[in-house]
Amino acid sequence: MSTATTTATATATAAASRGGDLRVAVLGVGVMGQDHARRLSTRTAGARLVAVSDVDAARTRAVADEFGVRAVHDPFAAITDPDVDAVVIATPGFAHEEQVLACLEHGVPVLCEKPLTTSAETSLRIVRAERELGQQLVQVGFMRRFDAEYQQLRALVASGELGRPLFLHCIHRNASIPPHFTSEMLVLDSVVHEVDAARYLLGEEITAVTVLRPRASSEAPEGLQDPQFVLLETAGGALVDVEVFVNARYGYEVRTELVAERGTAQIGLGVDLVRRSAAGWGGSIPRDFRERFGAAYDTEVQRWVDAVRRGTVDGPSAWDGYAAAAVCAAGVESLRTGRRVEVDLS
Ligand SMILES: NC(=O)c1ccc[n+]([C@@H]2O[C@H](COP(=O)([O-])OP(=O)(O)OC[C@H]3O[C@@H](n4cnc5c(N)ncnc54)[C@H](O)[C@@H]3O)[C@@H](O)[C@H]2O)c1
Ligand SMILES: O[C@H]1[C@H](O)[C@@H](O)[C@H](O)[C@@H](O)[C@H]1O
C-alpha cells in the first residue's frame, strides 16, 4: 500500500474515532466556494469546515471571519495541513490539476468542482495518478447526478419502458456570466454538465462533437460566441443536442427532453407551483444554479462526506471527469475549426 493510500485510510479512521467530524478546507471561496463553505458549516452532518483558502487574501480573511474558521493563504498549505482531513476545490478550472494532484500526493480525499481540468491530457494525468495509488480519492462536482429529476429520468431510461433513447434535447441558459468568461468556457465550463449528464442518463460514451456558431446575441459581451449549439453523438447512435446560452438575461433554465422509441420525458420544467393572480399566471424562474440545484449540492456534499468517512468515493469519479474533459476538448476544437471532431478516450 502506498503512503498516500495509508494516509487516506488513516484520515477516515481518525475522523471516525474523533466522533466523526471530518475536518474540511475549501479552496477558492468565490461564488461556489462560499456556497460550499456555508453548506459545510450549517447543514452537512459529520463534517466541520475548519479552513478556507484563496489567492485573494482579503477574500480569504472575510470568508474565514464569516464562518469562524482559519484563513490559509496558500492552498497547498491547506492541503498538507495535519488538521485538515479532506478538501473541497472551488477554484477556477485552470487551477484544478495542480491542486488535485497535490491532494493525491498527500492522500487527501477531494471533492473537485467541475470541470476536473480544462484538457483531456491533464485529466488523464489525474486518473493515472489516482490509479497508481490504488485507492479512489477524487470526486468531481457533477451535481446534476444528485438531482431528483435527473435520477428519475435515468431510472426511466434504465427500465427500458420507453424503448431505446433516440435523442436528448438539452437547454442550458444562464442569466449572465462573469466578465472573464470566454467562448471556449461555454463548452468547458457550461456544456460539460450536459456531457456528464448525457453519459449518466444514457450510460454510453460520447464519440463525436460538433459545435455550431449561430449569430451572437447583442446582449453578449463583444467577441463572445454566445449562444452555441452543440451536437454530441453517442457510441450507441443516439444524438444529444445542447443549446447553451449564457447571457439569456431572464434567469437560469436547464431543461432536458428525452425522446425514446415509445415515448418522451422532460425534466427541468420547474412546474412546482403555478400561480394565478391579477398580474397573470405562471411560476418563478431560478436566478442561478444555486437556486435550481441547491438540494442537489446538499446531497452531493453530504454523500461525499459520508463516503470519505468510510474511506470511499460515492459519486462521479476521476474517470468521469476525464471522459467529460476529453469530450469538451474535442468541442473546443470543433468551436475553433467548425468541424466535427471525434473523441478518443485512452
Ligand atoms: N457545479 C456547479 O454548478 C458550479 C457552479 C458554479 C461554479 N462551479 C465551478 O466552481 C469553480 C469556481 O467557480 P466560481 O463561479 O465560484 O468562480 P469565482 O471566480 O467566483 O471564484 C473562484 C475563486 O478562486 C480563487 N482562486 C483563483 N485561482 C486560485 C488558486 N490558484 N488558488 C486558490 N484560489 C484561487 C479566486 O480568487 C476566487 O475567489 C469552477 O470550477 C466552476 O466551474 C460549479
Ligand atoms: O460554472 C457555472 C456552473 O457550472 C453552472 O452550473 C452553469 O450553469 C454555468 O454555465 C457555469 O458557468
Q: Determine the distance separating the centroid of ligand 1 and the alpha carbon of 101, expressed in angstroms.
A: 17
Q: Which of 140, 289, 291 to mutate for ligand 2's pocket (most ligand atoms within 8 Å of CB)?
A: 289
Task: Give how far the C-alpha of residue 205 lies from the chain's centroid of Cα atoms, to the nearest Å.
Answer: 18
Same-domain check for residues 152 and 277:
yes
Which CATH number goes with the domain that contains 214? 3.30.360.10
Q: In what order do the strands lie in the sheet with 22-27?
A: 70-71, 47-53, 22-27, 86-89, 110-113, 138-141
Same-domain check for residues 138 and 192:
no
φ, ψ of residue 226 to 5 degrees: the values are -140, 120
Structure confidence by residue, pLDDT tens digits, 64-102: 999 999 999 999 999 999 999 999 999 999 999 999 999
Instruction: Give the per-residue SS3 of 188-223.
Output: HHHHHHHHHHHHHHHCCCEEEEEEECCCCCCCCCCC
Q: Is 231 left (phi over 0), alpha (psi -120 to 50) or beta?
A: beta
Return d(Cα 182, Cα 254) in angstroms, integer. Answer: 20
Structure confidence by residue, pLDDT tens digits, 204-235: 999 999 999 999 999 999 999 999 999 999 99
Structure confidence by residue, pLDDT tens digits, 272-307: 778 888 988 888 899 999 999 999 999 999 999 999
Structure confidence by residue, pLDDT tens digits, 128-163: 999 999 999 999 999 999 999 999 999 999 999 999
Return d(Cα 319, Cα 85) in angstroms, integer. Answer: 23
Same-domain check for residues 257 and 309:
no
Q: Which of 26, 29, 31 to mutate for ligand 1's pocket (most ligand atoms within 8 Å of CB)?
A: 31
**297 Cβ contact list (under 8 Å, min separation 6):** 35, 36, 39, 143, 146, 290
Task: Give the ligand whose atoms come closest to the C-alpha of residue 245.
Answer: 2
Same-domain check for residues 80 and 198:
no
Atom of ligand 1 lying closest to residue 98 CA: 31
φ, ψ of residue 169 to 5 degrees: the values are -105, 120
Same-domain check for residues 335 and 227:
yes
Q: What is the mean pLDDT of residues 309-324?
A: 97
Reported as a pLDDT band with limits 50, 70 and 90, residue 183 is very high
Q: Please say whether the dihedral angle defined by the alpha carbons of residues 5, 6, 7 and 8, taken in this order, is positive or negative.
A: positive
Task: Give the ligand whose atoms come closest to the C-alpha of residue 58.
Answer: 1
Atom of ligand 2 lying closest to residue 177 CA: 12
Owning domain of residue 284? 148-291+325-342
Same-domain check for residues 182 and 111:
no
Q: CB of 326 within 8 A of CB of 292? A: no
Q: Please say whether the dihedral angle defined by the alpha carbons of residues 118, 90, 36 and 287, taken in this order, is positive or negative.
A: negative
**Distances in whole angstroms, Cα of residue 248 to Cα of each of 193, 243, 339:** 18, 11, 26
Angle ∠(65,68,72) on CA atoms, nearest 5: 70
Q: Cβ(93) to ligand 1 under 6 A?
A: yes
Return d(Cα 261, Cα 163) in angstroms, integer. Answer: 5
Whether residue 190 lies inside any domain: the answer is yes
Atom of ligand 1 lying closest to residue 32 CA: 16
Whether residue 320 lies inside any domain: the answer is no
> Other C-beta atoms within 10 Å of 49: how many?
24
Q: What is the dihedral of CA 153, 331, 36, 45, to 10 degrees?
A: 40
Q: Which of 31, 186, 190 to mutate for ligand 2's pocket (most ligand atoms within 8 Å of CB)?
A: 190
Q: Cβ(189) to ligand 2 under 6 A?
A: yes
Report the mean per-residue pLDDT for the chain.
94
Q: CB of 205 within 8 A of CB of 238? A: no
**257 Cβ contact list (under 8 Å, min separation 6):** 167, 168, 169, 170, 264, 265, 266
Same-domain check for residues 155 and 67:
no
Q: Cβ(91) to ligand 2 under 6 A?
A: no
Q: Which of 135, 143, 137 is nearest to 102 (CA)?
A: 137
Per-residue b/e over 305-323, b at no fewer than 16 CB within 10 Å?
bbbbbebebebbbbbbbbb
> In the prediction, which pLDDT does 1 show?
41
Report the percentage of the chain scoring pLDDT > 90.
90
Whether residue 78 lies inside any domain: the answer is yes
Whether residue 211 lies inside any domain: the answer is yes
Reported as a pLDDT band with limits 50, 70 and 90, residue 59 is very high
Atom of ligand 2 lying closest to residue 114 CA: 4
Task: Give how far the C-alpha of residue 151 lies from the chain's centroid of Cα atoms, to the nearest Å.
Answer: 16
> In the prediction, which pLDDT does 277 show?
82
Task: Give the ligand whose atoms come closest to the C-alpha of residue 186.
Answer: 2
Burial class (CB in 10 A: 0-12, 13-18, 19+), 39: buried
Whether residue 88 lies inside any domain: the answer is yes
Q: Does residue 7 register a pLDDT over 60?
A: no
Give the chain's domain count: 2
The residue contributing the CA closest to ligand 1 atom 28 is 91
Same-domain check for residues 113 and 54:
yes
> In the prediction, which pLDDT does 10 show?
59
Same-domain check for residues 162 and 199:
yes
**4 Cβ contact list (under 8 Å, min separation 6):** 104, 105, 106, 107, 133, 135, 137
Which CATH number goes with the domain that contains 113? 3.40.50.720
Same-domain check for residues 98 and 210:
no
The residue contributing the CA closest to ligand 2 atom 7 is 190
Q: What is the mean pLDDT of residues 330-346?
A: 96
Same-domain check for residues 329 and 202:
yes
Same-domain check for residues 58 and 41:
yes
